[in-house]
Structure 1
Amino acid sequence: MAQEGADKAPYRQPLKWQDASFWDEDALHEEMERVFDICHTCRRCLSLCSAFPNLFDLVDESETMEVDSLTREDHFQVADRCYLCDMCFMAKCPYVPPHEWEVDFPHLMLRAKAIQYKKGEASRRDELLTKTDKLGQLAARPGTAPLVNWANRNRATRATMEKTLGIHRQRELPKYASRGFADWKATYQPARPEPQAGETTTGRVAVFGTCYANYQMPELGKDLVAILEANDIPVRFVDGEQCCGMPRLELGDLEGVQGAKDALVPKLAELVDEGWDILAPIPSCSLMLREEYGNVDPGDERVAKVAERVFDPFEYLMHRHKDGLLSTDFQQGLGKVAYHRPCHQHVQNIGSQTQRLLELVPDTEVAAFERCSGHDGTWGVKVEWFEKSLEIGKPLFRRIKESEADFYASDCPIAGTQIKQGMATDQKPTHPLTLMRMAYGLEAKA
């Protein structure tokens, strides 16, 4: 007999964190035992991350070799290894809703993290790593950035950081820009050509810069602007921009995510009402705006309105190409590109749009890889997970290295840094937006 609902697309239940039952620790562990028993029987997700191997080892080494032998401490040990990439839910698990078992492993792990956070178990380091806006505002300054970057590469400083904060001394940390995208935006003079609407796009773009572009890699935002200008798309920026809240989500701070949503969604909704599409150059940020806000606050109608108009940059450009509105006047081939598709882009169900667009460039070959890099936000920075993060990424590092490509690239700049460190190469990653700017023959914006 066929499973009821088997012909329906998978869907997620929103987090019910406003209900008292969500915070019932006894109910949490009862649900963890139920889901872990299903996972233990299936084991389809063994190769995805370290959470599942850890779970299966705990079971196999237990007295009964069944889930009922696991302690609550064991449950939280598994949750600590989950970095919420969502790949088990999106790509592997056959028991997600509408299956009657309704397994949502990432949201269950998020519930465990939220309960731990509410109990005050987040460390000083964990709190610090989530303050991306404040850290960027302090560090991304002409007189400060060089000193911070020097300290982040000084062996003595890093040894102290490891001892006092638990940030692994060997983890390559992103550099801060002396003049970030946040500063550059203030001097930008928009051309504002007449917009050409497509079937699914308005042809007017508001760029959500993201913390990474604003403070660490301003070239991401500037290259995106250059590409949009080359396609006669009017550009503006999101006023009063702040962190999307992804680091707070990883920590289990759902009130922090709600605060980020409450600060950003009214501004974004106003832009949508004015006819602007919204682009975010970091997959984690577009995922927050499109999906996670709706999971945290499904009752806010503005969230759904905004989610419909948020796009990944390459998804947007491919929509324009489908409508015959994308310039394909490329001036430079890119040779062979080893392209890594990050998890947080994959789970947005937009397809391989970056790969497809790069393949439009003449004299360009794309070797695409979808395996996790293992860095996963702040997880791979931590002293207890650094080596495990590199272990997870080994298959990806090996395949990219063997491709002998002219460039290697990932839509996620953190994944790009992880790949560089994992391959132990001096060659830096080149972001796909930079590759597209190069293909158009455009100079980098000052």
Structure 2
Amino acid sequence: WNVDFPHLMLRAKAQKFKNEGARLRDRVLTSTDTVFGMTAIPVVDVTVNALNKNATFRTLFEKSFGVHREAPVPEFHSKTLRKRVKPMIKSIEPKAVGSTTGKVALYATCYGNYNSPTIGEDFVKVFQHNNIHIDIVPKEKCCGMPKLELGDLDTVEALKNANIPVLAKLVDEGYDLIAPIPSCVLMYKQELPLLFPNDPDVIKVQKAFFDPFEYLWLRHKGGELNTEFPNALGDIAYQVACHLRVQNIGIKTRDILHLVPGTVVTAQERCSGHDGTYAVKEETYDKAVKIARPVVRKVDEQQADHFSSDCPMAASHIAKLSDSTEKPKHPMTLVCMAYGL
């Protein structure tokens, strides 16, 4: 009975991709570096964002390309996270606490860089507020999770070969590693080490990669987290992202938010149904909605002050279906609010 079902399915996807390939839509949707980079060009980003809000265009796009007209799609920003963060960086003398060095490099991720750059800004603010030196990873490609889900293992390896040397060098320079998207953290903590167990640099990066709230909790345990929060957050409905749960680190996001006085966090440990592209495709959107319904129902019943999830895509999917919440807030944004930053 000890069957790793998710990885069994990934092996099946890899075999199917090897034998049959994939349709153009799926290749495009999983080519995040290329697609996001093109749509984040100045003027192009504004145009794409406007089209994605146009019902007529979305109907035509569904018929021609197979992206469901009701599926929430992210906004694109020409002023990316990498551009925004560079002027924010300041030198802080790192202080090691437990397994943390107090010196981190932020792996921006495709989504964090192009779609939700303000989340990364909040990361920098919170980490600097806690006297943690934070830099941006100097260059990066997609982590490879979308291609892994497609079964395209050759591209996963190519992306690994582009990213791992950069990240391993940072680890050699004393950096710990974090990322704003749970799927990307999981890729480096679990998926790449499973695929490339004999690559010493992959293992080096794995050992230095942390979920961001796991990192803050480790600092808190060592007495180095600033717990002076001037602003209460009230009632928070919090969906625990699947790719966060499988890291087996506990619900550290909830634990950090619980440190804020006047704050109650209700965690929903159920799948959002998004799964990267599953909630976007025409043929699976309705199934994704059905999977999300139990979480949506709980969120609507709670009538919380804030709705949050570590995964922005899951959060947007749930919020779109909810009657009680319009715009979700990332947990790090909530911490920023609590600090008054």
The secondary structure found in structure 2 opposite 1:308 is helix
Q: Could you tell me how far 1:168 is from its partner in structure 2?
A: 0.6
Corresponding residue for residue 223 of structure 1: 122
Q: CA deviation at 1:256?
A: 1.0
Aligned to 1:434: 333
- Determine the C-alpha separation between the residues in 2 that align with 1:223 and 1:240: 20
- The question of whether the paired residues in 1 share the 8 Å contact of 2:300 and 2:323 is answered with no
When residues 189 and 358 of structure 1 are mapped into structure 2, their CA distance, relative to the original with a 3 A threshold, is closer
- Specify which of 169, 174, 183 is matched with residue 74 of structure 2: 174
Is 1:127 the counterpart of 2:27? The answer is yes
What are the Cα deviations for residues 276-328 of structure 1, in whole angstroms up to 9, with x where unaligned? Answer: 00011100000001111111111101111111110111000000000001111
Letter in structure 2 aligned against 1:352: I
Alignment map for 1:260-409 (pairs within 5 Å): 260-409=159-308
Question: CA separation in 2, counterparts of 1:221 and 1:161?
Answer: 30
Assess if the C-alpha contact under 8 Å between 2:307 and 2:325 holds in 1. Answer: no
Give the conservation status (yes or no) of the 8 Å contact 2:81–2:114: yes
1:151 is matched with 51
Task: Using structure 1 for the length normalisation, give the TM-score.
Answer: 0.75
Shift of residue 120, structure 1, vs aligned partner: 3.2
Q: Deviations over 1:329-372 (max 9, x none)?
A: 11100000011100000000110100000000001111111110
TM-score, reference length from structure 2: 0.98
Q: Distance in 2 between matches of 1:338 and 1:214?
A: 26
Q: Does 1:211 align with 2:110?
A: yes
How many equivalent residue pairs?
341
Give yes or no for contact 2:299–2:324 (8 Å, CA) kept in 1: no
Poorly superposed stretches of 4+, deviation over 3 Å: none
Contact 1:254–1:296, Cα closer than 8 Å, also in 2: no
Q: Aligned partners of 2:220 and 2:103: how far apart in 1? A: 15
Structure having greater relative contact order (Cα 8 Å, sep ≥ 6): 2
**Are the aligned partners of 2:25 and 2:65 in contact in 1 as well (CA < 8 Å)?**
yes
SS in 1 for 2:174: coil
1:432 Cα offset (Å): 0.2
Aligned to 1:8: none
Distance in 1 separating the partners of 2:98 and 2:7: 34
Name the residue aligned to 2:83.
183
1:265 partner SS: helix
* Inter-partner Cα distance in structure 2 for 1:312 and 1:297: 21
| CA–CA separation in structure 1 for the residues paired with 2:44 and 2:228 | 41
- Give the match's secondary structure for 1:339: strand
Q: What are structure 1's unaligned runs of at least 5 residues?
A: 1-94, 97-102
Indicate whether 1:111 and 2:11 are aligned: yes
Aligned amino acid, residue 157 of structure 2: Q
User: Aligned partners of 1:104 and 1:202: how far apart in 2?
Assistant: 34
For the residue of structure 2 that corresponds to 1:408, the secondary structure is: strand
Give the secondary structure class of the aligned counterpart of 1:119. Answer: helix
CA distance in 2, matches of 1:192, 1:348: 31
Structure-1 separation of matches of 2:79 and 2:92: 27
User: What is the alpha-carbon distance in structure 2 between the residues aligned to residue 239 and residue 120 of structure 1?
Assistant: 37
Shift of 1:141: 3.0
Residue 168 of structure 2 aligns with an amino acid whose one-letter code is A
Q: Aligned equivalents of 1:429 and 1:370: distance in 2? A: 17
Select the structure of larger CA radius of gyration: 1
Cα distance in 2 for partners of 1:394, 1:232 equals 41
Which residue is 1:197 aligned to?
Answer: 96
Partners of 2:295 and 2:263 in 1: how far apart?
21
State the one-letter code of the partner of 2:16: Q
Give runs of aligned pairs for residues 6-155 of structure 1, distance below 5 A: 95-96=1-2, 103-155=3-55
2:182, 2:87 → 1: CA distance? 24
SS of residue in 1 equivalent to 2:264: strand
Tell me the percent identity.
47
- Once residues 250 and 140 of structure 2 are traced to their aligned partners in structure 1, the CA distance between those partners, rounded to angstroms, is 28
For 1:189 and 1:221, the matched residues in 2 are separated by: 11
CA contact (8 A) 1:228 1:235 kept: yes
Q: Could you list the per-position Cα deviations for residues 100-134 of structure 1 after superposition, in whole angstroms to 9, with x for gaps in the alignment?
A: xxx12212211111111112331110001011111
SS at match of 1:381: coil
Superposed CA RMSD in Å reads 1.1
Amino acid paired to 2:98: E
* CA distance in structure 2 between the partners assigned to 1:282 and 1:158 by the alignment: 26
